[in-house]
Structure 1
Amino acid sequence: MRWSSLFIPTLRQEPAGAEAVSHRLLLRAGFIRQLAAGHYSLLPLAVRVRAKIIEVIREEMSEIGAQEFLLPAMHPAEIWRKSGRWDVMGEEMFRLMDRRGAELALGMTHEEIFTTVAGELRSYRDLPQLWYQFQTKFRDEPRPKSGLIRVREFTMKDSYSFDLDAAGLDRSFDLHHAAYRRIFARLGIPAIPVQASNGTMGGSDSVEFMCPCDAGEDIVVRCPNCGYAANMEKAVALLPDVDDGDGVDAELSRFATPGVRTIDDLDREFGVTADRQIKTLVYVADGELVLVLLRGDHALIEQKLIDALGAIAIRPAHAEEIHSALGANPGSLGAVGVTDLPVIADESLRHRRGMTTGANADGFHLSGVDVGRDIVVGRWADLRQIAAGETCLTCGDELELIRTVEVGHIFKLGYKFTETLGVSVLGPDGQLVAPIMGSYGIGVERALAAIVECHHDDDGIVWPASVAPFAVAIVPAGTDEAVTEAAERIYGELRRAGVEVVLDDRAERPGVKFRDVELVGIPLRVTVGARGLAQGTVELTDRTTRETRVIRVEDVLASVLP
């Protein structure tokens, strides 16, 4: 390709509003342009990189025996209703109606649709099946940000396994786990496999592949010693033993706390530290009020609450709902004496005594609370957010927190969709049995952005050779006829050898060309200059190491081949 005929609209100035490194550099280097919030046009260079990412994924999917499909992106509402997820998906699902009044959705994911295809399976001899596709997904993301990292329209590689039994699912899951590790290694993404929640998908054995990234919104809890790693929604840590001291035999006592509305207020005005307070939250889980108790210095992870309750949807209760149920406003709430509402408590409160909580009367609190004696806890669970420096359950070392972006997710779906949608096969014993499923996803454009987040410097993108838009850029440094002819000869030789090469034939100064090649991130640059040609040499610059070496013109092909 010739640079003069390519559409590469590079920018000299930093684009306004682009905070993430990948967002900024992909805009500056002419890879993407924003159409609307969360919607991006991929320009020719991005299309080349995207195609290479897809090919790496495709090769590894083929390696484990997966077959490629392409299923519709627009789905009839009835299949989502049948699976029970039409209402669960809420406002994130794009919904529309056709001219005949039929309700439709733009696919967020394809579990339901692949399961309908699996209805063609007839016998256990047809199993296992590993199916995948590359398809556009649509999610009405309320806060699209960071360029390609959080968008409303994107390409997903989603694959699904269908097996006869749990042992078969274990094998399919392990095959995908290994394939994902190879994929991310080939793409140059340092992905960390971490324990995760399945969320609305259900199932078990959920693993997210997380890329360390300053622009990420997910926090991973990791032990640098033993390798334990989990998403904050799943992470656990060792709870240190607590000596309640004088609180052991304390009697329950009510005291006035006028003006106290928060944990900090009670600490500041009455000297009750946050770790000795019981925080009472009121949530609505699947339409029912529930009291959630945590230690005052701990934060709730809502996904942990969802998982503990087995709820489909939760939300904080409204002020009027709270007052109607407990007779008080937030700031004075507690669970002492409450018997008509379910109570779920964090494990950090188990066996605690001498604690302080709201009295369910505005402006009053209770001291001397013995959780086991004074509160009817219906369920105990790990609900809290883990903090850096807490102790690893596995090895006892200190845990660290890493900001990340999710680039892949695999989990075991179980029988949720095959049973709900009525898919069964004839088993070895002649009885009908529902296949067991797994689900496995990779966000293609997000992976592209993650590569840039991990591979860049002050001058631009530093693409790994496996996904770079071109392998080599030839830059004539001057307009001498000899320079032009030599550049053309080298260009032709590399093209005939199958090397992806671009010739920068623009009528620009060498410095402009060098800056664009560095900004775009092409791994190798061959600089052809009059002085070097006089000696029969050119310069070969490695974009990653920034090293330049002088080589003979006849050695260019051998020097750039992998």
Structure 2
Amino acid sequence: MRASRFFISTLKEAPSDAEIVSHKLMMRAGMIKRLGSGIYTYMPMGLKVIRKVEAIVREEMNRAGAIELSMPIVQPAELWQETGRWDKMGPEMMRVKDRHGRDYAIQPTSEEVVTDVVRSELKSYRQLPVNFYQVQTKFRDERRPRFGLMRGREFVMKDAYSFDKDVEGMQKSYASMFDAYTRIFTRFGLKFRAVAADTGAIGGNYSHEFHVIAQTGEDALVYCPSSDYAANMEAAEALALSSERLAASQQLVKASTPDTTKCEQVAQMLGLQLSQTVKSLALTVEKEENGRQVKENWLLLLRGDHELNEVKVNKVPGLSSFRFASEAEILDAYGTVPGYLGPINTKQPVKVVADRTVANMADFVCGANEAGYHFTGANWGRDCPEPIVADLRNVVEGDASPDGKGVLAIERGIEVGHVFQLGTAYSAKMEAVYLDEAGKPAPLQMGCYGIGVTRILGAAIEQNFDDKGIIWPDAIAPFEVVLAPMGYDRSEMVKLEADRLLAELLAAGVDVILDDRGLRPGAMFADWELIGVPHRVVIGERGLKEGNLEYQGRRDEAATAVPAAEMVGFIKAKLGK
């Protein structure tokens, strides 16, 4: 490839709406162009990266035995209504009507469509297992599209769906996809981590997320450096910080704490450690009983220095549809304003759920359900009934690992892949069955597996950049090598060597571009450092007279002289070809 025949459009400054590093650099490098909110045109330089990502994904999916198909972007509402997700997905799913007034969804994912395909095509256990995948455009109407391709509305995703006759088979398919994903992200050349995760809106029983490690990542990843334990913050188990509860050693005292609605303020006023305080969070659950709507009052208790994990709250029996109580509901149930709530002397009956750590606390401080007052020396059993005990909090660095093999550490990551064991979550609702060995119908066991193809670009850049621009890993760089001739349009010696080297590298299977635009060296180098091509060869008359060319890797601080006759072999060795 010659630069004069390719489309290169770099900018010195990023547009004002570009927020994070990857967004700014992709815009400056001419890889994407904004069309609308969260919607981008993939320009030639960016599309080259996308195609390389897709090629690796396809190779590994095919290697794992998956079969490619392509499902419609526009999908009938009836399929989504069968599973209940037409309403459950909410405004994130874009809905449209055709000229006949029929409802359709612009696909955010394709569990319903692929299950519809399978229920009409797969009839016997002899046809199982099967795994279908596609690389297809998706659309999710994000409330606040931002960060370029990291949180856009239209994006490209690889989604795959496995179907098995039993749970054991589904688990084997899941393990196969997990291994394929590990190979895919390893081949991308990215530092990544697979972590146990919540299944969220997709559903199912078990899942893992794949994250590219980056300091700018939105997600907190919890792992144990001395074991294999890893989970995202939503799913990381938080053990009690003390193994047993100490006996009460203080009397219950009602202390005056005016204008102190935060645990930090209470601890400071009373001269106590924040870890001796308990924060109270009031919830309301509305449900139907005997044909009428009733409200239940719930109180969650966390240690004052801990944070609530709402995903875990959803898993507490009875709290799957909780909401935070309004101030009027709090006054009615507790007889006081927020900031002074506690489990002792509530006005109305309240179900109390204590985090594991709080359940093992003694002589703790909590609200007195009276404005301006807190209790000190509060104890379970003596001063208030024993609570329901549950894991409610986010873990913190240094907590004991749930596997008992060390302590937890936390790093930031960007989610780029997710694998799920769905079981019969979709097949049962859509009556996707097969005939087993005895000729009896049984529901298909299903798994699904996604990779954010276009999101990989943003994540890779967030992990690999410097003050000059992007630093692509070899496998997904738009070009592996750039030839930078000094005076290509002025020196016959330089032109002949550049053309020879271009031809030989292409013949060796190297994805190389020759910059024949006649730019000054500074401008030429700045362009390719911004774009992030990982290997550069400089061709100049002075070096050629000595029989040398200059090689410099994108991360190298200085150039290396390499004999011109050896450069092709040198580059092949660098690329592992």
With the shorter chain as reference, the TM-score category is over 0.9
Which residue in 2 is equivalent to 1:333?
A: 341
Task: Confirm or deny: 8 A CA contact 1:286 1:311 kept in the other structure.
Answer: no
2:501 to 475, 490, 499: 490
1:156-175 pair list within 5 angstroms: 156-175=157-176
Task: Confirm or deny: 8 A CA contact 1:244 1:354 kept in the other structure.
Answer: no
- 5+ residue gaps, structure 2: 288-294
TM-score (norm 2): 0.90
Give SS of 1:169's match.
helix
Distance, in Å, in 2 between the alignment partners of 1:552 and 1:309 is 71
Distance, in Å, in 2 between the alignment partners of 1:535 and 1:399 is 57
The worse-fitting range, judged by mean Cα deviation, of 64-73 and 196-205 is 196-205
Task: Confirm or deny: 8 A CA contact 1:342 1:377 kept in the other structure.
Answer: no
Distance, in Å, in 1 between the alignment partners of 2:284 and 2:484 is 64
Which residue in 2 is equivalent to 1:42?
A: 42
1:340-419 pair list within 5 angstroms: 340-375=349-384, 379-395=388-404, 397-419=406-428
1:552 offset after TM fit, Å?
Answer: 4.3
The worse-fitting range, judged by mean Cα deviation, of 253-262 and 200-209 is 253-262
Which residue in 1 is equivalent to 2:215?
A: 214
Distance, in Å, in 1 between the alignment partners of 2:440 and 2:244 is 58
Which residue in 2 is equivalent to 1:52?
A: 52
TM-score (norm 1): 0.92
For residues 382-440 of structure 1, what are the alpha-carbon distances to aligned partners after superposition, in whole Å with 9 as ceiling and x for unaligned? 11111112222334533221011111111211111000111111111221100111111
Change (3 A) 1:125 1:254: same
- 5+ residue gaps, structure 1: none
Change (3 A) 1:282 1:481: same
1:503-514 pair list within 5 angstroms: 503-514=514-525
Distance, in Å, in 1 between the alignment partners of 2:264 and 2:440 is 62
Partner amino acid for 1:534? K
Change (3 A) 1:309 1:139: farther
1:48 offset after TM fit, Å?
Answer: 0.5
1:452-463 pair list within 5 angstroms: 452-463=461-472
Percent of residue pairs bearing the same amino acid type: 40
Distance, in Å, in 2 between the alignment partners of 1:516 and 1:12 is 9
Distance, in Å, in 2 between the alignment partners of 1:324 and 1:99 is 51
Distance, in Å, in 1 between the alignment partners of 2:299 and 2:256 is 23
2:309 to 301, 314, 322: 301
Give SS of 2:149's match.
coil
Which residue in 2 is equivalent to 1:94?
A: 94
1:178-193 pair list within 5 angstroms: 178-193=179-194
Q: Which runs of 4+ in 1 moved over 6 A?
A: 242-245
1:318-329 pair list within 5 angstroms: 318-329=326-337
1:124-139 pair list within 5 angstroms: 124-139=125-140
Change (3 A) 1:314 1:80: farther
Mapped pair 1:423 → 2:432: yes
Distance, in Å, in 2 between the alignment partners of 1:391 and 1:332 is 31
RMSD between superposed Cα atoms in Å: 2.6
Distance, in Å, in 2 between the alignment partners of 1:310 and 1:198 is 19
Which residue in 2 is equivalent to 1:72?
A: 72
1:530 offset after TM fit, Å?
Answer: 1.8
Change (3 A) 1:325 1:276: same
Which residue in 2 is equivalent to 1:26?
A: 26
Give SS of 1:466's match.
helix
1:378 offset after TM fit, Å?
Answer: 6.6
Change (3 A) 1:322 1:117: farther
Distance, in Å, in 1 between the alignment partners of 2:540 and 2:245 is 79
Task: Confirm or deny: 8 A CA contact 1:351 1:372 kept in the other structure.
Answer: no
For residues 293-344 of structure 1, what are the alpha-carbon distances to aligned partners after superposition, in whole Å with 9 as ceiling and x for unaligned? 2222211011111133476554322223333333332112223355744433
1:223-302 pair list within 5 angstroms: 223-241=224-242, 248=248, 250=250, 252=252, 254-271=254-271, 273-285=273-285, 289=296, 290-302=298-310
Change (3 A) 1:361 1:99: farther
Change (3 A) 1:273 1:532: closer
For residues 41-73 of structure 1, what are the alpha-carbon distances to aligned partners after superposition, in whole Å with 9 as ceiling and x for unaligned? 221111001001011011110011001121122
Task: Confirm or deny: 8 A CA contact 2:245 2:361 kept in the other structure.
Answer: yes
Task: Confirm or deny: 8 A CA contact 1:33 1:43 kept in the other structure.
Answer: yes
